[in-house]
Amino acid sequence: MARLVEGRAGLTDRVKISIADHAVGSEGLLTTSGLGSCLGVVIYHPERGISGLVHPMLPRRNEAESRPAERFVDSGIELLVEELLAAGADESALRAKITGGAAVVDFGNDDESIGDRNVAVARTVLADRGIEVVAEEVGGDCGRTVHVDAETGTVTVKRTDGVETEL
């Protein structure tokens, strides 16, 4: 389901990303909404003006190769980085922003919510790859909508409690 936006200018200025989906682009907006416990992980190369967004739902793929890579935080990030490199980004210049990971529904019997685990795994995987996390808007109990300006990597997060943050 990967959609490379680069070179498709004129057709669209927005790419909407669903759950377990991702996109890489150099202009326009990458958007995703309905982020509950899921994450919106943005990775970008500021100087080259290339950004990517992935919307994973669960922390780790655990070698279940038949399952879609973008559904999981670890494999989703790996995939996104590969595509950013293929699109001309330098791994050493990549920066990341993490959004989402809320506990919209309190299941009571969980020690740690899926959202918290997603955030923890994202931090670990990005640190392991040497990608600096420059901003986060995570946790809490509200859903989020995320817009990424592909050219600058500027992220706008709108929460359902009305709070809007620019990262």
Partner 1 sequence: MQIDIDSLETYNTLARDGAQSAAESLSQLTGIDTHVEVTNVSLMTPGDLEYEYVGSEFSGVRIELGGALTGETLLTFDEAARSVIAGTLAPEEPTDIRRSSIEEVGNIMTSGFIDGWADHLQTTIDISPPTFLSGSGADVLAASAAAEDEQVFVFRSRVESAAESIDFHILFVPERDSLIEALGPTGEESVSFEKLEVFNEMTKHGAEQAAENITTMTGLETDVEVNRMSFVPIDDVPATVGDRRYIGTVMEYTGKPSGYLAILFDQPSAEAVVDALVPMETEGEWSEMEQSAVKELGNIMTSGFIDGWANVLESSIDHSPPEFVSDMGSSIMSPIVGRMARTQEHAFLLDSMIHTDGDGAFHCEILALPDESELREVLRELLVERADRTQVDPSEVF
Could you say which of 144, 148, 149, 155 contacts partner 1 (CB under 8 A)?
Answer: 144
According to the binding rule CB under 8 A, does residue 156 interact with partner 1? no
Could you say which of 40, 52, 76, 115 contacts partner 1 (CB under 8 A)?
Answer: 115
Tell me the angle at which helices 114-128 and 73-86 cross, rounded to the nearest 10 degrees.
Answer: 40
Could you say which of 2, 6, 7, 13 contacts partner 1 (CB under 8 A)?
Answer: 13
Stretch that binds partner 1, among 44-52, 67-75, 78-86, 129-137 (CB under 8 A): 67-75
According to the binding rule CB under 8 A, does residue 25 interact with partner 1? no
- The two tokens of residue 130 are 């040497």
113 φ/ψ angles, rounded to the nearest 5 degrees: -75, 160
CB 54 within 8 A of CB 160: no
Residue 136: Cβ-neighbour burial (10 angstroms; 0-12, 13-18, 19+): middle
According to the binding rule CB under 8 A, does residue 73 interact with partner 1? no
Shortest spacing between CB 34 and partner 1, in angstroms: 3
d(CA 120, CA 73): 10
Could you say which of 24, 36, 53, 89 contacts partner 1 (CB under 8 A)?
Answer: 36
Stretch that binds partner 1, among 44-52, 65-73, 80-88, 122-130 (CB under 8 A): 65-73
- How big is the chain by its Cα radius of gyration, in Å? 15
d(CA 163, CA 157): 8
Q: Which residues bind partner 1 (CB under 8 A)?
A: 3, 8, 10-16, 18-20, 33-38, 57-58, 67-68, 71, 102-108, 113-115, 142-145, 160
